[in-house]
Amino acid sequence: MKIAIVHYWFLGAGGGEKVIEALAAMYPGADIFCLFADKQRLPRGISEERVQCSILDKIPFSHRINRAIFPFYSGAVGSFDLSKYDLIISSDSPPIKGIVPSIDTVHISYCHTPGRFLWDLAPAFTAKLPWFARPVFAEMASNARISDFVAAQRVDYLIANSRYVARRIRKYYRREPAVIYPPVNAVEGYLSSRQDDYYLSVGRLIKNKRIDLLIRACNQLKRRLVIVGEGRDEKALKAIAGPTIEFLGRVSSDELGNLYSRCRAFLFSSDEDFGIVSVEAQSFGRPVIAYGRGGSLETVRVDDSEGGLDTGLLFSEQTPQCLADAIRRFESQEQRFVPSVIREHALSFDVSVFKEKISEFVTLAMARESSAPVLTMPRRPMDSRIPAWNEIRGEA
Amino acid sequence: MGGGWEITDRHRVRVAILHPWFLMRGGGEKVVDVLVGIYPEADIFTLFVDPEKLSSTLRSRGVHPSILNAFPLSSRLHRHLMPLYPWAIESLDLSAYDLVISSCGPAMMGCNTRQDTVHVCYCHTPQRSWWDLYSEHQLQLPPPLRQMFVMAAARVRTWEFCAMQRVDHVVSNSNYIADRVLKYFRRESVVIYPPVSMSSGPALPSNGNYYLTVGRLEKQKRVDILIHACNQLGRKLVIAGTGKEEKYLKSIAGPSIEFRGYVPDEAIAELYGNCKAFVFAAVEDFGIAPVEAQAFGRPVVAYGHGGSLETVRVNDPQGRLDTGVFFPYQTVDSLVEALHRFEQVEDRFVPEDIQEHAKRFDTKTFVAAMTNFVGHATERQHL
């Protein structure tokens, strides 16, 4: 079986690259295609020869201006020769899933999210543009939405990286995806016998991660907070930080492990599609205090009424006050969080689980393609949920 | 009434209502009025607005017109701005709303909503000039304009199709429109008939000896068929309404035809209440006038096509009484034959029963069905 993996770009380590790392390890014979690649920063285990870049990669400075040349992506994606593959797994940011495979090729798209600047965040994105760029973006985005929607219709099987993203796929593409959580190196976590008195935050220091909330809440409660990560907002965040806040910048993975394993709890206030760091913290047996929206609703277990199996706490509003209340609530019941239970939960998101599920999915998809040449589309979910006419009118 | 949060904490639910334009007072605008009654806090967005043509409720609360409304002469040239509708709709920022009801018409289904916003599209009809009547419509245009229209229509159709797929729930105003929505947008929809206000008293036997028709005097209403048939049979026909075709219609009218022009509400009730039957030859998506006539207990003689098939009850499978008579072809002969047929069975129609049937299309029924539906829809969105 000839397999191709199509990814958007390799320009640094993010969640998407971890997915490719796992897929590349699962299918060592697979060819990897992408728009751009920084050959120095390929994921572990992927050799330079395996990666084929689009023509855009040859443009000088293309790595730096990658987002600005978005309009040329679809042409570049169309230039990949994918005709000889039996299976293509695409890792989608638009328009990667817009590849046109031949009729016998099975195309599975692992969707990190429908491009948010095109869909749910389009108004916010437009507002940030200078006025003269807005009509240009509006026209481009309108066309891109059509191609994105149409491209999603010709993918054979869609996989969403969380139930949260699955809902977004249903809404904007009107297709029913499977859900397979992205791979986290949970098995590398460990339990530490030593516990220190600090809360931890890990992540890029950018606006939508809402690290400002963590700082304000810890300022107010005078709790120690250790912040790992760098980013555009570093200066602004340092300006509001009180004496109990500590910025560590970038740390080595050994040191990060130490930090994770000894913290009182991991604080997480952003609305993420999945949220890998919060699972990483749990893999070290540490509880998570997270904003109760998006991926955290799936990665943090809070459903147990006794509380013995909970792996963290959720807070309902993205405000410092609400987080401060949650921290106090956490401190009053800290004893009930059991590190081994938390780690056990994190292991359900381990790379091995991802690989197992993907491989099972691929087997099913390939079997179905070969035994059932005519694929019947499932009914669209929303339509079948519409109550019958007489039900609505209150008639028998 | 419906369930879900929409009842329990309605104060927290932010609602937006979208309607293509407020440039006349028709059935679509009436739907918006009623929706505003259900959601009094709602913000209303539209492409074009002519403040003079707003109903009093809407005028007092204000509507938000799109940027296209600022074009000079936009209210007259609005049809020619059609290639810009997608742009105008997509640039609306609706991220603050939890429930969006789009009333369409052209383009309104294409608004961008947040992931957890419930978007219900109440479809009056896919825009006829670029969907079902496209071939006829473009042929009427002068050649240079036609080329431009053909290109723009192709783009707008693609866009509307994709846009309709991201609507959460589609509601059609009749089974006739539901078929059209399925045909052009491949979406299944639920049918909720539009609201017809019923201001009639108890249904009484008629004491007039005339047939009645009410509506704008336009070509596609086919009032000419009614006139020719009544000329031929020498029956009295009262025509209420004005329009572009008035002159022509008067020129073909015989002595038994009476034009009343614009008739105010009280007088029209009198006209409805006393006619022998309401006659109707148009193909409508729904057709409010025949329902109004039935609300006064009067039977309807209608061309058996389009919305009339749903608003007039003939040959009911459950054996209920007929509320009118259909004629099978949109021709004078067919109507003459139907009038003969009607006059033979005229005394078998029961005014109270006809009035009861019309209640199916009452504003109250619409409000209950819509509230209930939106309740179901919002509950499910949050599963």
Taking only the tens of pLDDT, chain B with its 383 residues reads 333 333 334 447 899 999 999 998 878 888 999 999 999 999 999 999 998 888 888 888 889 999 899 888 888 888 889 999 999 999 899 999 999 999 988 999 999 999 889 999 999 999 999 999 999 999 999 999 999 999 999 999 999 999 999 999 999 999 999 999 999 999 999 999 999 887 667 777 777 899 999 998 988 899 999 999 999 999 999 999 999 999 999 999 999 999 999 988 888 888 999 999 999 999 999 998 999 999 999 999 999 999 999 999 998 888 899 999 999 999 999 999 999 999 999 989 999 999 999 999 999 999 999 999 999 888 866 54
CB A156 within 8 A of CB A225: no
Q: Report pLDDT for B75.
A: 81
Domain assignment of residue A59, given as a range: 3-183+351-384
Main-chain dihedrals φ then ψ at residue A78, nearest 5 degrees: -65, -15
Q: Name every residue whose Cβ is closer than 8 Å to that of residue B263 and which is 6 or more positions away in sequence.
A: B214, B240, B241, B271
Q: Is A382 part of the contact surface with chain B (CB cutoff 8 Å)?
A: yes
CB A266 within 8 A of CB A200: yes
Q: Are residues A85 and A161 in the same domain?
A: yes
Residue A321 pLDDT more than 60?
yes
DSSP helix/strand/coil, B23: coil
Each residue of A228-257: pLDDT tens digit?
999 999 999 999 999 999 999 999 999 999
Residue A379 pLDDT more than 50?
no
| Greatest CA separation for chain B | 66
Q: Are residues A200 and A63 in the same domain?
A: no
Residue B200 lies in a domain: no
H-type helices in chain A, by residue range? 15-26, 73-78, 122-128, 134-154, 163-173, 211-221, 234-240, 253-262, 276-283, 296-299, 320-332, 339-347, 351-371, 381-385, 389-392
Q: Are residues A236 and A161 in the same domain?
A: no
Whether residue A387 and residue B368 make contact (CB cut-off 8 A), yes or no, is no
Q: Which of B115, B116, B173, B361 to mutate to test the interface with A (most CBs of A within 10 A)?
A: B115
Q: pLDDT grade, residue A386 (50/70/90)? A: very low
DSSP A26-95: H-TT-EEEESEE-GGGPPTT--GGGEEE-GGGGSTTTTTSTTTTGGGHHHHHHTS--TT-SEEEEEESTT
Mean pLDDT value across chain A = 88
Q: Is A73 part of the contact surface with chain B (CB cutoff 8 Å)?
A: no
Residue A106 lies in a domain: yes
Range with the lowest mean pLDDT among A310-314, A379-383, B367-371? A379-383
Range with the lowest mean pLDDT among A116-120, A317-321, B205-209? B205-209
Residue A313 lies in a domain: yes
Range with the lowest mean pLDDT among A139-148, A182-191, A350-359, A364-373? A364-373
Nearest residue of A to residue B113, measured between CA atoms: A120
Q: Report pLDDT for A390.
A: 42
Percent share of chain A, pLDDT over 90: 66
Q: Name every residue whose Cβ is closer than 8 Å to that of residue B377 and which is 6 or more positions away in sequence.
A: B118, B120, B168, B169
Domain assignment of residue B245, given as a range: 210-361
CA B374 to chain A, closest CA, distance in angstroms equals 10
Whether residue B162 and residue A145 make contact (CB cut-off 8 A), yes or no, is yes
Q: What CATH code is carried by the domain that includes residue A323?
A: 3.40.50.2000
Q: Which of B162, B179, B192 to mutate to test the interface with A (most CBs of A within 10 A)?
A: B162
B93, B162, B365 member nearest A123 (Cβ): B93
Residue A392 lies in a domain: no
Cα gap A330→A266, rounded to integer Å? 11
Residue B204 lies in a domain: no
Residue A264 lies in a domain: yes
Q: Are residues A28 and A56 in the same domain?
A: yes
A172, A385, A393 member nearest B369 (Cβ): A393
Q: Are residues B221 and B189 in the same domain?
A: no
Q: Report pLDDT for A58.
A: 85
Q: Report pLDDT for A305.
A: 63
Q: Report pLDDT for A307.
A: 60
Which residues in chain A have their CB less than 8 angstroms from residue B376's CB? 387, 392
Q: Report pLDDT for A95.
A: 84
Q: Are residues B166 and B236 in the same domain?
A: no
Q: Which of B91, B186, B362 to mutate to test the interface with A (most CBs of A within 10 A)?
A: B91
The reply to whether the predicted model has a pTM over 0.90 is: no
Of residues A288 and B55, more confidently modeled: A288
Q: Are residues B67 and B154 in the same domain?
A: yes
Each residue of A146-198: pLDDT tens digit?
999 999 999 999 999 999 999 999 999 999 999 999 999 999 999 999 999 99
Q: Are residues A273 and A333 in the same domain?
A: yes
Residue B152 lies in a domain: yes
The arithmetic mean of pLDDT across residues A56-63, rounded, is: 84
Residue A324 lies in a domain: yes
Q: Report pLDDT for B202.
A: 75
Residue A391 lies in a domain: no
Nearest residue of A to residue B92, measured between CA atoms: A123
Q: Are residues A53 and A131 in the same domain?
A: yes
Q: Report pLDDT for A191.
A: 95
Domains in chain B, number: 2
Q: Are residues A169 and A195 in the same domain?
A: no
The arithmetic mean of pLDDT across residues A204-226, rounded, is: 94
CB A289 within 8 A of CB A268: yes
Domains in chain A, number: 2
Q: Are residues A209 and A309 in the same domain?
A: yes
Report the complex ipTM.
0.82
Q: Report pLDDT for B258.
A: 95
